[in-house]
Amino acid sequence: MTPRLRAARDAPQQVWIAFGGEADQPWLRPLRQGFRHCFAALRDEAGWTVLEPLSGRLVVMRLAVPAAFDLPGFYARAGLAVVGPFAPGPARAGWLPGLLPFTCVGLCRAVLGAGAPPAITPWGLFRRLTRISGGYKKIILDCGDTPG
């Protein structure tokens, strides 16, 4: 286990980033399929909070599930790519937030803090985060109904 992963697992708050999405907006079509959107899920001792940046608004939901609930596993079983856990870092110094457009990638990078890798698209963020976290394992569900 890497020191960064060990620190994230012991942190009082942990962050997972989930990737997925269809092209429901015309400007999303050029983005890589399955990586057209991302959002953050935060776990602390009280439970789960999801930060979901949508077109025109930010949804913040405190989920009515226990902190021990496997939310990253739930998202992975639903077909999303999930990476984490990460420990949120200190605030990033530098660019004024008002100068950059509000995007799902920008929100996820802000949640991760100053240590977040540079990225513009969800696919770019996914690639950089998988390098940091030590990889990504695709979960393949098999319903067992295949004809023999």
Look up tokens 């008002």; give the residue.
98
**Across the chain, where does the E strand assignment appear?**
14-20, 37-44, 47-54, 57-62, 81-86
CA quadruple 79, 53, 23, 119: dihedral, nearest 10: -90
Q: How far apart are the first and last CA of the chain?
A: 40
71 Cβ partners below 8 Å, 6+ apart? 16, 41, 43, 48, 63, 65
| pTM summary value | 0.77
**pLDDT tens-place string over residues 17-50:** 999 877 666 666 677 677 888 999 999 998 999 9
Residues 6+ apart with CB under 8 A from 143: none
Task: For residues 46-59, give the mean pLDDT.
Answer: 88
Reading the block at residue 15, the tokens are: 């962050």
CB 6, CB 29: distance < 8 Å: no
Residue 146's pLDDT is 41
**For 103-135, how does the pLDDT look when each residue is reduced to its tens digit (9 = 90+)?**
889 999 999 988 888 888 999 999 999 987 765
